[in-house]
Every structure is written in C-alpha cells, then in structure tokens.
Copies of this chain bind each other. A is one copy, B any other.
Amino acid sequence: MTSDASPRPLARAPRGFQDRRADALVAEREILGAVSRVYESYGFERLETGAFEYADALGTFLPDADRPNAGVFALQDGDEQWMALRYDLTAPLARFAAENWESLPKPFRRYAFGPVWRDEKPGPGRYREFLQCDADTVGSERPEADAEIIAMAVEGYAAAGLPRNAYALKINNRKLLNGVLTAAGVADPAQKLAVLRAVDKLDRLGTAGVTALLGAGRKDESGAFTKGAQLKSAAIDAVVAFVGAGAGTRTATLDRLANVIGGSAEGEEGLNDLARIGEALERLGIGEDQALFDPSVVRGLEYYTGAVFEAELTAQTLDERGETVRFGSIGGGGRYDDLVARFTGERTPATGFSFGVSRLAAALAASGAATARAARGPVVVIALEAERMGDYFALASELRAAGIAAEVYLGASGMRAQMKYADRRLSPAAIIMGGDEIAAGTVTIKDLDLGRALAAGIEGNKAWREDRPGQVTAPRADWVSAVRNIVEAAR
C-alpha cells in the first residue's frame, strides 16, 4: 500500500497507448473474426508467439530505422540478454520457422494476430501499440503462393465489409525495377537505393518531382535541396517509363511492362512471376480490376526480395471538420526470401500479407462502410428496496436464462439516477418491480429506445408509437416475451 505520506500518482495512460471501450473493440473483433475465417478456409494454421523476442533475433528490419533496435521497446533480461517487444508479426515467424523447421509440415502456412509495439513518437491517430493480422507461407517459391496470399487479402477485405471500390490492391515485383536498372547500366547499390527512394515519392511529388530526384536533385518549396540518384538521361527515361506502365487491368499492364523492362534476365524473371500470379488470381476468381499490377509500388525499404503488395484506401473520407483525410496504406506485404536464412544460413522462400487491423477499423468507420454501432447495454432491473435485491436478481436470472443480457442496478442511487444509468449504457429496457407490481403479480417494462427517440424529437409516426408504447405492464408469467419484443425491436 502506498503510505499516506507518498503523493498520489496521476491516473493517466502512457503516451501513445490507448484505452479502448466496447464500441471500438466490437469493430476490431469482427474484423479479426472475418479475416481469420478467410485464412482458415485457405488452410492457414493459427500461431501465437510471445510478446518478446531476443533483440538479435528481431534484427534491424524495422522500416526506416537504421540503428539496431531503434524504434523498439527493449530491455535487458536478468541474464543480461537484450529482449525487445515484437514490432511486427513477421520477425517472430521467421524465428519460429527457423527454430522448428525440421518438425513443421512444409510449406508452413500460418496466420497470427495480436498487438505489435513501436517506440516511435506518438501523434493523432498514431499509437505505439496496434493490432496486426498476418498470413504467411514459408517454404514455397511458387508465384502461386503469392497469388493465394493476395486472394486472401481481397477476400479478407470483403469479409470485413470494405466495399470493393473503396480500396485498391496493388502488386509489383522488386525484380522488375532491378532488371530495368541493370539494363540501363546502373549497378551501384547506393544509387539503386536512391532510385527506390525517389520512386517511393511518386504519390507526393508526381512524375516531374521524381524525374528530378532520379537525376541531379530537387529543390522543394522551402528552398531545401535533395540530392538525386544521378542517373543519366536514358536511365531516367527507362525508370519513368517503367513506373508509368500501370494500366487498368493486370493483362494490359503485363503487355506494357514487356516493352519497358529492357530484356534483363532479372526483369524477365519478374515479368514471368507476375504473369503466373495473374493466371492464378484469375483461377481464384480475383477480378482483373480487383488486384492490379502497379510498377510504382515500392513498399518502403523493407526486406522484400520479390513480389510486393500494398492495399490503399481510395474512397475519399472526411474528418470531423469536413476535411479530406488521406488514409494511405491499410495493409501490405510481399515475398521475403532471406528472413529465415538469417538464422539457418539456408535460403527459405516466404511470402505474406499483413492487415493493419486498427487502421482498417478506422477506414471502415470513415468510409461509412461500417455503421458505427454503439455497443448496447443490458436490460437493467431497477433496484429500489434493499430487502428486495433477491427478487431483482431472480428477474435478471430469468432474462439471462432466456438469452437476454440483464443486470440488477447495484449502486446506491434512486430511481431517477438509475434510469439515467440505463440510458447511458444504451440499455434497450428497464424493469421495475415495486410494491404495486408485486401485489398485482406483474412487472413494468420501460422501452428506453422510445424514450430516447422522444427525447431526441424523433417521435416517429403515430402507428409506430401505438405499436411500441413506452411502458408495458406484463404478468409475471409472460413478462420475458414482452422484454424480448422490445430488445429485438432495439437491434
């Protein structure tokens, strides 16, 4: 116990961490349930690893973090080994697969969901703990494994309730740009990285800005100068032609890409991989315009080695002030053939996709796809006389036995505060059993939705009000069905 002399601690959550109540959690639970069912229907097995990994096992793969373990929550264990909270679900999978490779059925297909932690600067809508839901196939180098992952993403978004036209799923392959650069005589890794960084800014800077960054460099509006990749003009043209080769269907993009990848072996391989992904997607029923090939997708500077996938919300969404909100990525993934090899030394092909669950929930709400449903409270049995608590409990038990959530008010306040409590819980009904009711063998049932509608001035049409009077007195033998009618009307 804190002694009376110690100051009282301030009650506040650590910065960047959220308390989430029923409304938010219901939406997340539905997304996780829908996506998990899709994953399981494709034969993916659930896996849950611990929150911590040894720091050396996590590696330095966190996007945009060059220092070892920058951006993660790390601490030293009792035996002086550094441990860190997982920053994604892929690094723990790579460790698990390497640790158990001999005994796993191969290819190993697993899905996982849970919080991940990043020690980054928190901001509006930017948390240091958030939920991911991933599926990965480890041990298959077939492009069809990528196609299947993409198909599950498309089905996952549909199952979660995101309309088909609210987002775009874009597919690219790292081998293509590598092939273009090889054909253009660019071999320096630093220069290649500068090209990737430039292409990654296409959304923000447009073709002219990217062209400048591929060449000498670019001065922004503030006058600051960013040095470019120093490509020669022919190489710049090749990259720009490649990046702009996307079309409205996978087949059309493949045709255009064949003309711009410049004939290198790696480029041809990337093109062949994409073509096989396209064929498999077709057989999996994923329409030409549902998952597109888009050569401009770079997907950060992460550990991907081949195919990359990115899902972006396209529907315009407005914030509370009516301003357009850019949501950006709501999921992504790709092929990473080297993560398991870090441990084993043996190349182990792998591919996966990660849903940003919290972002998807926010996107669903913002795009109007999910009706923001407030979590409904239970039926509240009003408790006015201490010596009748047993009777109140018996009423609540009767309701629960009939499958209706119910509670007895357990505070110390009077009738008015109890009704206000039931209203704040968004309860559909309140039950009153006072002396009159007991004498008459009845209970009184108040329809709280009607009360809310009246209070909000939405009186509805008269017929509805006659169908659903605000208050019903029902005999003890038949009261539960009267409550059920009100509860079902409130759904």
A residues engaging B (CB < 8 A)? 1-2, 8-15, 17-22, 25-26, 40-43, 45-54, 56-57, 59-60, 73-75, 77-79, 81, 83, 85, 95-96, 98-100, 105-107, 109, 115, 117, 119, 129, 137, 139-142, 144-145, 147-148, 276, 279-280, 282-285, 303, 338, 342-345, 375, 377-380, 389-391, 393-394, 396-397, 400, 403, 405-412, 421, 424-425
Question: Once bound together, how far apart are the Cα atoms of A117 and B424, in whole Å?
Answer: 34
Q: How far is the CB of A427 from chain B (nearest CB, A)?
A: 8
Q: Is B389 in contact with A280, judged by CB distance below 8 angstroms?
A: yes
13 pairs, CB–CB < 8 Å, chain A vs chain B: A1-B338, A9-B54, A11-B57, A12-B57, A14-B50, A14-B53, A17-B49, A25-B47, A106-B411, A106-B421, A140-B412, A144-B393, A283-B394
A99 lies within 8 A of B405 (CB): no
Bound Cα distance from A401 to B40, whole angstroms: 13
Residue of B nearest to A280 (CB): B393
- Given that A148-B410, A397-B284 are contacting pairs, would A42 and B9 also be in contact in the complex, using a CB cutoff of 8 Å? no
Q: Which chain B residues border A21 with CB–CB below 8 Å? A: 45-47
* Additional pairs, 6, CB under 8 Å, beyond known A19-B100, A51-B115, A137-B410: A9-B54, A21-B47, A22-B46, A41-B403, A50-B129, A51-B85
Do B410 and A144 touch across chains, with their CB atoms under 8 A apart? yes
Judging by beta carbons under 8 Å apart, are A375 and B45 in contact? Answer: yes
A49: B residues at CB distance < 8 A: 13, 17, 19-20
- B77 contacts A14, CB within 8 Å? yes
A19 touches B96 (CB 8 A): yes
Complex CA distance for A232 and B294, rounded to whole angstroms: 85
CB-CB nearest 4 A-B residue pairs: A17-B50, A43-B378, A43-B407, A11-B98
CA distance A54 to B16 in the complex (A): 12
Residue of B nearest to A375 (CB): B45
On chain B, the residues within 8 Å of A81 by CB distance are 14
Interface contact A397-B283, CB-CB below 8 Å: yes
List B contacts of A45 (CB < 8 A): 21-22, 375, 377, 425
CA distance A96 to B22 in the complex (A): 14
Once the chains bind, are A60 and B99 in contact (CB under 8 Å)? no
Q: Determine whether the beta carbon of A13 is less than 8 Å from that of B75.
A: no
Chain B residues near A119: list those with CB within 8 A: 78
